[in-house]
Homo-oligomer: A and B are copies of this chain.
Amino acid sequence: MNNGFRNEKPIGVFDSGLGGLTALSELRRLMPNEDIVYFGDSARIPYGTKSPSVIKKFALQDTRFLLSKGVKAILVACGTVSSNCLNEVYEEAGVSVVGVIEAAAKRAAEIAKGGNGLVAVLGTNATVNSGAFEKALNGFGISEVISVACPMFVPLVENWHPSVDDGATNAIVSEYLLPIAAKKPSAVILGCTHYPLLEEVIKKYLPESVLISSGAVAAEELKALVSKLSIENSNGGATEFYTSGGAEMFVKNAGRFLKDMKVEAAEQVDIERFE
């Protein structure tokens, strides 16, 4: 029982676009009394195709924007930033930082150690090529990893109607997942924040019990960290949305990334200003 607020500062979440809203959704559900500030860098999406120095520059600008809102902790919902420069974000921020890669790898390792030790990772081309999940999983004692690039998943979520009955969706999802399903991994990381929106279809090919959503796990990790540091707020609950792209477009498209919540308004930010 919490008898009063301890730290009323907000929690910050950033992503290269809208995908991180699936992590925000989870954070909102887990921490109903926290204020949360979300920044989506929609004007500069995707990060995955940029050079490491550009990714770092963008990540630090995103971090500085959140710091300008006085955040007490940051969830990096962007897989590219989490794998490329999480340490730099942490050094810049001076507050607690949780990335999606390490949190999901840790959880997958725990589960796989209780099973057959095999972990599968589904990710974008950039994430799979980076080898970041494999490296993190190795660090947690997992040596058997299957990584599968699923480059059609984001387009399906962004540009199609990926329902459980849709022919194109099932053809694509089954082609990616059936070879993995045959190997019966103990844990499968949904290594991109867009993928939870395909979960209903993915569950047709892989058992729900093995699926790990990287955004959701990072949200749980952040909650645990805030609790450990005793910096919870029991007095908040507001969510603010900022984007580098068009605010109207953000509001219009954000809906389907969010469970049980709506975006009423978003504010456009000149992110290049946060040098």
A158: B residues at CB distance < 8 A? 151
CA–CA, A45 to B46, complex, Å? 9
Task: Determine the residue in chain B with the shortest Cβ distance to A158.
Answer: B151
Give the shortest distance, in Å, between A235 (CB) and chain B (any CB).
39
CA–CA, A220 to B50, complex, Å? 34
Does chain B have a CB within 8 A of A224? no
The answer to whether A167 touches B159 (Cβ under 8 A) is no
Does chain B have a CB within 8 A of A43? yes
Chain A facing B: main interface SS? helix
Once A43-B50, A43-B51 are accepted as A-B contacts, the answer to whether A160 and B152 lie under 8 Å apart by CB is yes
Task: Determine the residue in chain B with the shortest Cβ distance to A150.
Answer: B159
- Set B45, B125, B172: member contacting A49, Cβ < 8 A: B45
- Set B43, B152, B160: member contacting A159, Cβ < 8 A: B152
A94: B residues at CB distance < 8 A? none
- Set B51, B125, B168: member contacting A171, Cβ < 8 A: B168
Task: Determine the residue in chain B with the shortest Cβ distance to A54.
Answer: B43
Interface size range on A against B = 20 to 34
Does chain B have a CB within 8 A of A4? no
List CB contacts (< 8 Å) of A145-168 with chain B: 151-152, 155-156, 158-160, 166-168
Task: Determine the residue in chain B with the shortest Cβ distance to A50.
Answer: B43
A171: B residues at CB distance < 8 A? 166-168, 171
Task: Determine the residue in chain B with the shortest Cβ distance to A151.
Answer: B159
The answer to whether B160 touches A172 (Cβ under 8 A) is yes
Give the shortest distance, in Å, between A54 (CB) and chain B (any CB).
8
Q: Mark A217-253, 1 if CB is under 8 A from B, else 0.
A: 0000000000000000000000000000100000000
Give the shortest distance, in Å, between A66 (CB) and chain B (any CB).
23
List CB contacts (< 8 Å) of A241-270 with chain B: 245
CA–CA, A63 to B130, complex, Å? 33
CA–CA, A45 to B49, complex, Å? 9
Give the shortest distance, in Å, between A45 (CB) and chain B (any CB).
7
Leading 7 A-B pairs by shortest Cβ distance = A155-B155, A151-B159, A168-B171, A167-B171, A168-B168, A168-B172, A152-B159
- Can you sample 5 A-B contacts with CB below 8 Å? A45-B49, A151-B155, A152-B155, A155-B155, A168-B171
19 additional contacts, CB 8 Å, given A43-B49, A160-B172, A171-B171? Answer: A42-B49, A43-B50, A43-B51, A45-B49, A125-B159, A151-B155, A151-B159, A151-B160, A152-B156, A152-B159, A152-B160, A152-B168, A155-B155, A155-B159, A166-B171, A167-B168, A167-B171, A168-B172, A168-B175
